[in-house]
Amino acid sequence: MIHNILISFPNQNLDVDLNLKEVKGDTIVLNVTVDDIDLSNYKIRCELTDDAQSIQLGNEEIVGSNPDITAVEAESGMSGFQVVVPAGRTTDFKHYGTLEIEIEDEFGFIFTILQQRVTFLEENIDWQNPA
């Protein structure tokens, strides 16, 4: 599933429910735009977790080459980046999980800019066993 998310910084509202739903095992793409900040030199982390598992993702400043968070672009006071959770990573997730994204500036200040409950739906198509 692809989600386009706009966050107003520093006045983000963590109480807003985006009603995120994902099919277990599918690729998850989050196109995130943050208003009023240039994230060019920031570390960006994302964690998707349920009670038993955790997927930790980061941009180039966190993981080096082959980052899961890419394309930090700053323009007109806004920054955009994309988070990709590869297919198959959420296959064994429980029905509910939590998604959190945080940013860290060059002084080590860390800000959570998104925290959401995620509903994971069962996958119904099984191409290994066609009907």
Q: What local confidence, expressed as pLDDT, does residue 48 receive?
A: 97
The domain that holds 95 is classified in CATH as 2.60.40.10
56 within a domain of the structure (yes/no): yes
25 within a domain of the structure (yes/no): yes
129 within a domain of the structure (yes/no): no
Domain span at 113: 2-121
Q: Are strands 2-8 and 28-35 parallel, antiparallel or unpaired?
A: parallel
DSSP 8-state secondary structure symbol assigned to residue 33: E
**63 three-class SS:** helix
Q: How large a percentage of the chain has pLDDT more than 70?
A: 98
Mean pLDDT computed over 28-35? 93
42 within a domain of the structure (yes/no): yes
- Per-residue b or e along 100-113, where b marks 16 or more CB atoms closer than 10 Å to that residue's CB: ebbbeeeeeeeeeb
131 within a domain of the structure (yes/no): no
Mean pLDDT computed over 5-34? 88
The pTM score is 0.87
Tally of domains in the chain: 1
